[in-house]
Each structure stands twice: as structure tokens, then as C-alpha cells.
Amino acid sequence: MKAIAIDEYGPADLLTVRELPDPPVGPDVVLVQVRAAGVNPVDWKVREGYLAGAFPSHFPLVPGWDAAGVVAAVGPAVTGFAVGDEVVGYVRRDHIQYGTYAELVPAPERTLAAKPVQVSWAEAAGLPLAGLTAYQALQLGRAGAGDTVLVHGASGGVGHLAVQIARALGADRSSAPPARTTTTSSVPSVPSRSRTGTACWTGCASSRRTGWTWRSTCSAATPWTCRPSCSPGRPA
Ligand SMILES: NC(=O)c1ccc[n+]([C@@H]2O[C@H](COP(=O)([O-])OP(=O)(O)OC[C@H]3O[C@@H](n4cnc5c(N)ncnc54)[C@H](OP(=O)(O)O)[C@@H]3O)[C@@H](O)[C@H]2O)c1
């Protein structure tokens, strides 16, 4: 198969397009013929080796955790998918090696869902990680009917989905802080409402810049440890 891979951790110019052996299909694995792969901030952190302490990695390493595609083969223990199904997945495995920047990705069955019919391949591949992040933050913030939800970075990958999911959860207002271009009115097809908010999530860097204090142990080296526990006010 053709894939984009690295042979060692480092900068973006280590990524090369190459031929690699087709990945193995384990018992609970669905082999997906990738139509589109999503690109997320975590991909460059993997590439640089910042997650090496948390995830065992193997080279050549194909980055990428998001994909949409068609099922090409299934392992003998797979029950929920069949060859030809259109799927979308957050294909994060315990070991990092067979990522989604490839023609074929071996996805554990638990990482996949049916692709929504109304979205394109590229739109579907952009949904999993950013969408799950937004949804998880709103769940942890207990956003629900009648709530007002503040979304930092509402023009970004996570933020624009958070605005829409908040609306789907019943929040009747969503807003963005007065920083940069991040207003809900700049996000296409999202109703433009404005009020102060009660929950937020964009990640450490943005929240520091916009003056919201994270009550968490996050750091530049371990950004995945951030928790959506924040409150208005300048960082100390
Ligand atoms: N994508 C994921 O699946 C995922 C998962 C977990 C955590 N995260 C974290 O969540 C954060 C956002 O990720 P993303 O994928 O949504 O990134 P993104 O698509 O690049 O969006 C970044 C957002 O932050 C805003 N922003 C950038 N610099 C800013 C500044 N100086 N002041 C105010 N706003 C600023 C951008 O506004 P402009 O439009 O004006 O540039 C944009 O709305 C990152 O810290 C990322 O590591 C992302």
C-alpha cells in the first residue's frame, strides 16, 4: 500500500510518501480502504515524539488517527461490519504504527461507526477526534437544555463542532470570547447568538491566550492531560 510515514521522530520534512507492506488484519480488526484521512494537532505531536512516553511506537510509523473509507476485509471476530460498508473512525490504537495517512488502515472494530450518508468523505474524516473532543467536553461540562455555552476558538476544528453539538444537546445559546476571529457569527451555518458562558474547551494554548484559567495539570509537553475545568480570569 501507499502511505505517508516517518522512520524517526522529528520535523515535518521527515514525512515521505512510500510503499509499505499491507497491514495485518487481526481477529477484531476491520481493514479500511481509506478515502479521506483527518489531520489533527495531535498528529504533529506524535511525529515529534511528544507522546512516546504514553504510546509505544514502531517505525516506519504512519501518523493519523482519523479516517473515512470502505471496509476491504474483516477479521474472524468482527460482527458489526462487512466488506463494502462505508465507515468513519477514530482509529487510535494502543501502539502507534498503522495510522490513517495510508491507503489501508487496520481499525479495531470498536473504533469505527457507520459513515453518515449526508457528509462527504472529507467531511466524515474531519469528524471523529475533533467531534469526540467537543462532545466529551460538553458532557463533562454537563451542557444541556437551556444552558448557555461559551466556546473558545469557535472557528477551529473542535470549536465549530462544539457550537453545533451544544445546540443539538439543547443549549439555547452559544458564544465565543472577544478574541481574534472566534465569534459564532463567523462560523458558517451556526446560529449567531451571544451571551456569557458556563463551559469551555479549546486546549491549553488558546485558553491561556484568551485569559481563561485552566485548573489542570496540563503542560506544553503533555497537552492531552488538559481537563475542561476552567473559569474566567487571568492565568496566575
Ligand atoms: N482537533 C482535535 O481533535 C483536538 C483534540 C484534543 C485537543 N485538541 C486541542 O484543542 C485545541 C484546538 O484544536 P483545533 O483542532 O480546534 O485547532 P484549530 O482548528 O487550529 O483551531 C484553533 C482555534 O484557536 C483560535 N486561535 C488560535 N490562536 C489564537 C489566539 N492567539 N487567540 C485566540 N484564539 C486563537 C483559532 O482562531 P483563528 O480562526 O482566528 O485562527 C481557532 O478558532 C488545540 O489546543 C488542540 O491541541 C484538539
C-beta 158 within 6 A of ligand 1: yes
Determine whether the shortest distance from the Cβ of 230 to ligand 1 is under 6 A.
Answer: no
Best residue among 42, 92, 127, 158 to mutate for probing ligand 1, ranked by most atoms within 8 Å of CB: 158
Q: Which three cell numbers stand for residue 6?
A: 516517518
As a dihedral over the C-alpha atoms of residue 154, residue 122, residue 125, residue 189, rounded to 10 degrees, the angle is 30
Ligand 1 atom at minimal distance to the Cα of residue 41: 47
Cis, peptide link before residue 60, omega less than 30° from 0: yes
Q: What backbone phi and psi angles, to 5 degrees, belong to 47? A: -60, -40
- Nearest CA among 136, 33, 142 for reference residue 89: 33
CA 157 to centroid of ligand 1, rounded, Å: 7
Output the residue whose Cα is nearest ligand 1's atom 8.
Answer: 203
> From the CB of 41, is ligand 1 less than 6 Å away?
yes
- The reply to whether ligand 1 has any atom less than 6 angstroms from the CB of 130 is yes
Q: In this structure, is the dihedral angle defined by the CA atoms of residues 90, 96, 100 and 103, taken in order, positive or negative?
A: negative
**Domain 2-121 classification at class level:** alpha beta
Q: Give the Cα-Cα-Cα angle 111, 35, 33 (nearest 5 degrees).
A: 65
Ligand 1 neighbourhood includes 60 CB (under 6 angstroms): no
pLDDT tens, residue order, the chain (236 aa) = 999 999 999 999 999 999 999 999 999 999 999 999 999 999 999 999 999 999 999 999 999 999 999 999 999 999 999 999 999 999 999 999 999 999 999 999 999 999 999 999 999 999 999 999 999 999 998 888 888 888 888 888 999 999 889 988 888 766 655 444 333 333 333 333 322 222 333 333 333 334 333 333 333 443 333 333 444 443 33
Q: Whose CA is nearest to atom 1 of ligand 1?
A: 130
Structural domain boundaries in the chain: 2-121, 128-232
